[in-house]
Amino acid sequence: MVVRVDVAPALLHWAVERAGWDDYTIDARMPRFHSWVLGEARPTLKQLERFANATHTPLGMLFLPAPPHEEVPIPDMRTLGNTAVRRPSPDLLDTIYQCQERQDWYRDYATENGLEAPRFIGSATTAASITSVAAQIRQTLNYEVTDRAGFHETGTAVRKLVDAIEETGVLVMVSGIVGGNTRRTLNPEEFRGFTLADPLVPLIFVNGGDVKTAQIFTLVHEFAHVWLGGSALSDASMAAQDGVDEEVWCNRVAAEVLVPRDELREQANANLADVELDRLARKFKVSALVVLTSALDAGLLGWGEYRRRFLERRNLSYPAPRRTSSGGNFYNTHPLRFSRRFIRAVTSSTFEGTTSFRDGYRLLGTRNHNTFVRLAEEVNSA
């Protein structure tokens, strides 16, 4: 017997708008959609399940009397000028929920194993000295300018920063996809990263769909949020002069960590021409945009000139968002997406029998035992 169901047209519209579908996508992927909306036909339960899966909508929500109002579950500090960003995509929401689940599990693991919390969590406020906090962060991460001399590419700098932050006890996940689903890519124009605060196990997530130089800035920006002790969803926009106090403060701290203003004053030529910007970017292992931001804080540029030059350089440093490739070595990319520290904890707990293999597979986004075992071997041998 075929079971057909009633769904409010407003919920159908809400689901496709939430998923970012246009009319072409609707016609191509769900040709019966318009007949459902007009009441000319009713979907079967299986058809509705396929529709829910395709739009990444929880099936139960389609039986509500009216569309729900979904909010980001952490403080949303993203702005475009002074305007709040549009409602969150299902990809963003699912990523936050997945990271919250991992953090919850790891908190229990850390408590049971007597792990100590990093001492710097919540140790700063936005009234704290930018240069002082930045110096403490560089020292904590061993990320002085001289420490970066051996980095020959930005990918190396990202990995070194991730490892250094994780060494302090903070979980770091860098991914351009939702979980392990290479068909669901994250858009850096929607968000660049977020921080999930916790007094024991804070978590940083960086959008891996962004360019590497932007990932470096976002990593340090989110690490500054950990020092403030609060959760935040960020766009880490260096061009913002005002906005949410915490975001502006974290931007300035990140710029000072990466390009200390005193060193910039010593190293920079007076004109800061484009050739000079590129030279300084290579020296500090950052983008020219970060150098410009630090130059603004150092008083080498006024706001008007900074803004003009920032916008001129932005298209060169931030090309159009790319789709994350499904290629690459799984055992190289997966530890970055799920955190080496987290993977070591899950695999250790699973092999000890504290966590079931079923939960272990789910937490790490793996589907079979051989993959799970090899992943454990890879992260423990690194």
pTM over 0.75: yes
- In this prediction, residue 200 carries a pLDDT of 98
Q: How far apart are CA 146 and CA 41, in angstroms?
A: 68
DSSP for 24-79, written as a single string: HHHHHH-TTHHHHHHTS---BHHHHHHHHHHTT--GGGGGSSS------SS-B--E
As given in the structure block, the two tokens for residue 43 are 């979907």
| Range of weakest confidence among 7-16, 80-89, 127-136, 215-224 | 80-89
Helix 274-284 to helix 288-297 angle (10° resolution) is 100
Contact residues for 112 (Cβ-Cβ < 8 A; gap 6+): 354
Give the number of other Cβ atoms within 10 Å of residue 153's Cβ: 10
Residue 173: what are its φ and ψ, rounded to 5°? -130, 125
Instruction: Please tell me the predicted confidence (pLDDT) of residue 319.
Output: 54
Instruction: State yes or no: pLDDT of 379 exceeds 90.
Output: yes
Tens of pLDDT along 141-184?
999 999 888 887 888 889 999 999 999 999 999 999 999 898 99
Percent pLDDT > 70 in the chain is: 92
Extract the tokens encoding 161: 């920063």
Residue 323 has pLDDT above 90, yes or no: no
> Is pLDDT of 327 > 60?
no
pLDDT at 4 over 50: yes
The pLDDT of residue 317 is: 60
Q: Is residue 328 predicted with pLDDT exceeding 50?
A: yes
Q: Find out whether 291 and 281 touch, Cβ atoms under 8 Å.
A: yes
Q: What Cα–Cα distance (Å) separates residue 43 from each residue in 40, 110, 111, 143, 247?
A: 10, 47, 48, 57, 46
* 372, pLDDT greater than 60: yes
Does the pLDDT of residue 88 top 80, yes or no? yes
pLDDT tens per residue, range 219-266: 999 999 999 999 999 876 666 666 789 999 999 999 999 999 999 999
Measured between alpha carbons, how far is residue 319 from residues 71, 84, 152, 214, 221 in Å? 29, 24, 21, 11, 21
Q: Of the candidates 168, 170, 172, 173, which has an alpha carbon nearest to the alpha carbon of residue 140? A: 168
| pLDDT level of residue 32 (50, 70, 90 thresholds) | very high
Q: Give the residue-averaged pLDDT of 279-308.
A: 91
Average pLDDT, the chain: 90
